[in-house]
């Protein structure tokens, strides 16, 4: 049982009121964290605000060294972190280890990128003037993160923020705070100064409101539901905060008639069933050209049948539990709706026990079905057929979301035509797992604002200052 306290100004602060952290696999309590509210949220901003001038004035090299020390400590304890993650989130241990490495790749990458925050000089309009453009850190930033990637969603935000010279207040998801607190502990151990990183757990509404009302918080970076993202956007208006939002997705996964079907089926498995389907870039709708639908389904369902459902700590498990009862209810409803509207369930289709759901394949999915429109966040793969490229592009784009999309084709011109026509921020062409630290991750439409990763990701934490010098 892990006891998690709040991290405020380099000190661990405990509250008598606690929140239980449950293992979704067994329902057992694996830890408790302090339940903070507005008071602690403001205290965290106080210390982050005080820490900002000193941290931001350090050289990029000094900050980089500390971020790399943090990275090295995480690397050394990757296995411990993964165990905490599996205990509170449920994902198979092999995926948890993969996430720790992925999370750490942001620290390594931004430790370097922080040294390349370049300005500009621009030719002036008069001989006795000079125009300089500088990039400066925005100030205190607030990061609000979800439960599906308890480590990576923290580092993807905090690595560029720290490298840019910002200080941070963080609120991890109430389901998975232990991973975040452990990472924060290692940040302190690495020598990242008190107040630069602060972690608050507790009431999301109260903490969120306190930060959104605070004019010292200059930027909010959020990953989570579209609903909460929209709320934060409204709340940000009063103090005109900068915002990055990574919200819901509804990824189309397109298999053309010239695709390598083995690679497409393998890709669909990787994209659909990672984290039991609980990622915002998971394939949600699989569109298969009518000429190849039968051989594709044969290959795909064979692989789905091989997926083992079970506790994340069991080495053989490929699919862990869903996060909570609401997640199960949603999946059950979507499968029932698809059945009622004429789809056939080829594999799975049922809850097993507790929070475990069978990996499920649905054939004959149509555009009216819930699963073809609403984010599933579970191990359900609906397959629909199409006849022409124009049709599949139109149907793929008919969504209020625009995060990730995938297309499998062996024809270069088709790859170019479709990837350019898709209204999505990320397109994987013959690639089901495109997320990496050096590339910009983010969505079109209601999937969000801004980008994380790459040089684009650090821009989100910088202000542009124009200095006009007369002499």
Q: How far is the CB of 247 from ligand ADP (least distance, A)?
A: 8
173/186 with CB nearer ligand ADP = 173
50/231 with CB nearer ligand ADP = 231
173/268 with CB nearer ligand ADP = 173
The two three-digit tokens of residue 325, written as one number: 């009862």
68/231 with CB nearer ligand ADP = 231
* φ, ψ of residue 448 in degrees (nearest 5): 145, -170
Q: How far apart are CA 204 and CA 35, in angstroms?
A: 10
Q: Which residues bind ligand ADP (CB under 6 A)?
A: 144-146, 171, 173-174, 204-205, 208, 224-225, 228, 231
Q: Which of 43, 99, 113, 246 is catalytic?
A: 246
Q: How far is the CB of 175 from ligand ADP (least distance, A)?
A: 7
The residue count for the chain:
471
- Our answer to whether residue 390 is catalytic in this structure is no
Q: How far is the CB of 270 from ligand ADP (least distance, A)?
A: 21
38/190 with CB nearer ligand ADP = 38
Cα atoms found within 13 Å of the Cα of residue 71, Cβ hemisphere only = 23
Q: Which of 280, 282, 446, 452 is catalytic?
A: 280
Cβ of 230: how many Cβ atoms within 10 Å? Answer: 13
Tell me which residue has its CB nearest to ligand ADP. 208
Q: How far is the CB of 41 from ligand ADP (least distance, A)?
A: 10
Concatenate the DSSP letters of all residues of 131-146 into one string.
Answer: EEEEEEE-SEEEEE--
Residue partners of 114: CB distance under 8 A and separation at least 6:
60, 63, 64, 67, 160, 162, 163, 164, 165, 458
Q: How far is the CB of 347 from ligand ADP (least distance, A)?
A: 26
Q: Which of 178, 156, 179, 150 is nearest to 168 (CA)?
A: 156
Interstrand relation of 129-137 and 462-470 (parallel, antiparallel or unpaired):
antiparallel
Q: How far apart are CA 96 and CA 119, in angstroms?
A: 38
- Our answer to whether residue 282 is catalytic in this structure is no
Active site (catalytic) residues? 246, 280
């Amino acid at each position: 049982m892990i006891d998690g306290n709040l991290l405020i100004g380099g000190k661990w602060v405990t509250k008598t009121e606690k929140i239980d952290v449950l293992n979704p696999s067994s329902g057992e309590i694996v830890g408790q964290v302090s339940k903070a509210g507005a008071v602690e949220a403001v205290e965290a901003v106080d210390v982050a605000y005080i820490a900002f001038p000193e941290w931001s004035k350090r050289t990029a090299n000094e900050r980089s060294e500390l971020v790399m020390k943090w990275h090295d400590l995480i690397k050394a304890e990757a296995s411990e972190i993964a165990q905490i993650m599996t205990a509170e989130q449920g994902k198979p241990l092999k995926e948890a280890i993969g996430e720790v490495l992925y999370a750490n790749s942001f620290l390594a990458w931004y430790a370097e990128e922080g040294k390349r925050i370049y300005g500009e000089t621009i030719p002036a309009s008069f001989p006795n003037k000079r125009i300089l453009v500088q990039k400066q850190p925005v100030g205190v930033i607030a990061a609000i993160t979800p439960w599906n990637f308890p480590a990576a969603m923290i580092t993807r935000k905090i690595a560029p923020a720290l490298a840019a010279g910002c200080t941070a207040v963080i609120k991890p998801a109430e389901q998975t705070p232990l991973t975040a607190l452990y990472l924060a502990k290692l940040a302190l151990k690495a020598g990242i100064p008190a107040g630069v990183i602060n972690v608050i757990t507790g009431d999301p509404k109260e903490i969120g409101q306190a930060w959104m009302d605070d004019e010292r918080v200059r930027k909010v970076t959020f990953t989570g539901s579209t609903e909460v993202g929209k709320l934060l956007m409204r709340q940000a208006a009063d103090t005109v905060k900068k915002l990055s939002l990574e919200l819901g997705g509804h990824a189309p996964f397109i298999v053309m008639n010239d695709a390598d079907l083995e690679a497409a089926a393998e890709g669909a498995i990787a994209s659909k069933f990672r984290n039991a389907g609980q990622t915002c870039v998971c394939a949600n709708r699989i569109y298969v050209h009518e000429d190849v639908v039968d051989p594709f389904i044969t290959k795909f369902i064979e692989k789905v049948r091989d997926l083992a459902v079970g506790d994340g700590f069991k080495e053989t498990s490929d699919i862990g539990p869903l996060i909570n009862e609401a997640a199960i209810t949603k999946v059950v409803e979507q499968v029932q709706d698809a059945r009622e509207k004429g789809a056939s369930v080829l594999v799975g289709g049922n809850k097993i026990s507790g929070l475990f759901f069978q990996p499920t394949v649905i054939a004959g999915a149509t555009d009216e079905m819930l699963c073809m429109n609403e984010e599933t966040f579970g191990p359900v793969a609906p397959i629909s057929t199409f006849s022409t490229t124009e049709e599949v592009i139109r149907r793929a784009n008919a969504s209020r979301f625009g995060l990730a999309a995938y297309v499998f084709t062996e024809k270069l011109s088709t790859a170019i035509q479709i990837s350019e026509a898709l209204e999505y921020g990320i397109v994987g062409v013959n690639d089901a797992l495109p997320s990496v630290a050096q590339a910009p991750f983010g969505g079109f439409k209601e999937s969000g604002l801004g980008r994380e990763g790459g040089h684009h990701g650090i821009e989100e934490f910088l202000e542009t200052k124009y200095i006009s010098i007369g002499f």
